[in-house]
Chain A
Amino acid sequence: MVNETTQSAAGRAWTETDVVYVDQPELTMSERLYLPQVFGGMKTTLRHMFKMRLRKEKVVQYPEQKRQLRKEIYRGVHRLNRDDQGRVACVACFMCETACPAHCIHIEGVESPWPDREKYPIKFDIDELRCIYCGMCEEACPVDAIELTPEYHLVGSSRDEMIFDKEKLLMVYDRTKDEKPRKNPMITGY
């Protein structure tokens, strides 16, 4: 432990030259009097307040207008990918459930009926209300079976409705596969 804390990444012990001292800047006269700074801040806010142009450029009038998304990286509703035979690509390894910081994924794995795979999920529930859309599940998945889609119009009239099960997640894949094709080819052998 001692070695870990006192050695730099290069394996060399810390010396004083490695330390960068950052000091709080000295306050100027107007900063010390506070009020001039207040007026400075108000000048900025007032400038924005009377700039109609910025508003017109930046505001998206949802739902009439929709945002231009970067579909490759947008983190919306999850989907469960299908492999080339139309089966669920997930191997029920629980890595997403483990990585999930919000504990919103619940999987039940069983022995798979297919020879090329050991395990598959019989149940795969994601609580979309609990999810924080961090994308950790996507990062953790060893077979790229779970992905986040650019789909963000997510509504439901009850909490139960917002718990997406396996069928619903596969349906999301069917709906979004043209918009965002599955990234990587399937890895076999699990």
Chain B
Amino acid sequence: MDFIKDTLADQFWFSIILSLAIFGGIMTAVAYCILLERKVSAWIQDRYGPNRVGPKGLLQPLADGVKLLFKEDIVPGHIEKTLFILAPFISFVVALIGFAVIPWGGAFRWPWMAEDAAPLYCQVATIDIGLLYILAVASLGVYGVVLGGWASNNKYAFYGGIRAAAQMLSYEIPLAMMVLVGILTTRSLRLEEMVTAQLGVDSAAPMAALFGLNGFAWTLFYHPLAAVILFITALAEANRAPFDLAECEQELIGGFHTEYSGMKWALFFLGEYAHMITSSAFMIAIFFGGYCVPGWTWLNTSDSVLAMLLRGGVFSFKILLFIMAYMVVRWTLPRFRFDQLMQLAWKSLVPIGGALVLLQVWILYKDLPQWVSIVGNVTILAVVALIGVVVQKPITGRQRSLIKKERIVRMREALVQRG
């Protein structure tokens, strides 16, 4: 009995047990995400969605899984075999290992642990550069897509892979900028510290809590513009609509996964949904207060096991909201054209992001109070709107057509030529 207690109280063993639990949880969550996606799309389109397998269709993921497992796994003859098989695994594994640094429940102590003992962290790995780790791992995800597209030896797949690579490269920059804003605001690279910084009650904390509520100093409130941009880039990084150019069915048949079938195809999708969950968790930790519930001091700060479990629940609930947002966006917006995609990244997100980073750096350098950033954000938005008025073009770049006068002149010329 003591052995079990000791094992549980040891951060190393606890991390291993936690990682297993998270793995199981995430896998189930991913399977149900797919069901949720189908349900949400159905509701939005005034349908019911899958409702035949089990009560309300709740066993549908099981049926899907069985089907995909037993489906014929076609390996075409014209492919680069090693990479073809490797690609979905890269995609899937990379999406999963990002969870290692997500601070699910913060610090706690088992009831049998001494009051002054070092607290355990409900987190698989508490490392100094947790944030860099997650960025690095998320960037690796594109290898699965690019390799899969290239190894398929198929024009559609190849285009899909190329598009994915170009898109990732472009959106990584605004993403990194927004993360930098988060780091500079919370002044830490450890995700768990970034979350505690957003409690905002500590006198040493850089940010003051709104309305004096414990846990209500979310980075979101100090950098709303940055949060929006981060969400946009997260959509792009996860290859979700309206940024799903790598797999767009209408043009590329399925893009990088055109040649995949059965379980290998399913792995790509499990990877995509796992990536959605990771990126949501990541955004929540940096900008949306992590597990904090505004005003509930006990939950936010207690080191009891119950509080830890509740905090995990709060975190998961926030993830669920984000995933719903992802889905609603997907079933609302049409896909960007590729030039629009690039234009959006390089001509609007990157300059705005740069301005935001400069703003935060200036605040730090001059040691100004953090609320200045709110003013700065509003100012930047106003400037962008002003530029929009002057340039007369949407930020996504609609194709310019001839203005009316020009066209009338051309029409006349054509008529004259015809006689």
Contacts and interface: CB of A to CB of B under 8 A. Distances in A.
Are chains A and B touching in the complex at the 8 Å CB cutoff?
yes
Contacts of B404: 21, 23
Contacts of B403: 23
Interface size class of A (residues with CB under 8 A): 20 to 34
Contacts of B48: 55, 59
Q: Please report whether the interface of chain A is mostly helix, strand, loop or mixed according to DSSP.
A: helix
Contact of B398 (A19, A27, A42): A27
Interface of A: 6, 14, 16, 19, 21, 23-24, 27, 29, 31-35, 38, 41-42, 44-46, 48-51, 54-55, 58-59
A55 B331 CA distance: 17
| Leading 7 A-B pairs by shortest Cβ distance | A49-B43, A45-B332, A41-B332, A54-B46, A45-B44, A32-B394, A32-B388
13 contacts: A21-B404, A21-B408, A29-B385, A29-B388, A29-B389, A32-B388, A32-B395, A33-B384, A33-B394, A38-B333, A45-B331, A45-B332, A55-B47
A144 B418 CA distance: 46
B415 interface: yes
A135 to B, nearest CB: 26
* Interface-centre pick from A16, A29, A32 (highest chain B CB count, 10 A): A32
Given A21-B404, A38-B332, A33 B46 contact: no
Contact of B328 (A23, A42, A58, A59): A42
Given A49-B328, A59-B48, A34 B43 contact: no
A16 B411 contact: yes
A169 to B, nearest CB: 33
B414 to A, nearest CB: 10
B74 interface: no
A33 B407 contact: no
Interface string B388-411: 110011111010010110011001
A52 B107 CA distance: 43
A50 B40 CA distance: 10
Given A29-B388, A34-B394, A46-B328, 15 more contacts: A16-B415, A24-B401, A27-B398, A29-B385, A33-B384, A33-B385, A38-B332, A41-B333, A42-B328, A42-B332, A45-B328, A45-B331, A48-B44, A48-B46, A55-B48
Contact of B332 (A6, A29, A44, A51): A44
Contacts of A27: 392, 394, 398
Interface string B11-48: 00000000000000000000000000000100111111
A141 B48 CA distance: 41
Nearest to B419: A6
B69 interface: no
Contacts of A55: 43, 46-48
A29 B45 CA distance: 29
B169 interface: no
A51 to B, nearest CB: 7
A48 B411 contact: no
B328 A48 contact: no
A38 to B, nearest CB: 6
B330 to A, nearest CB: 10
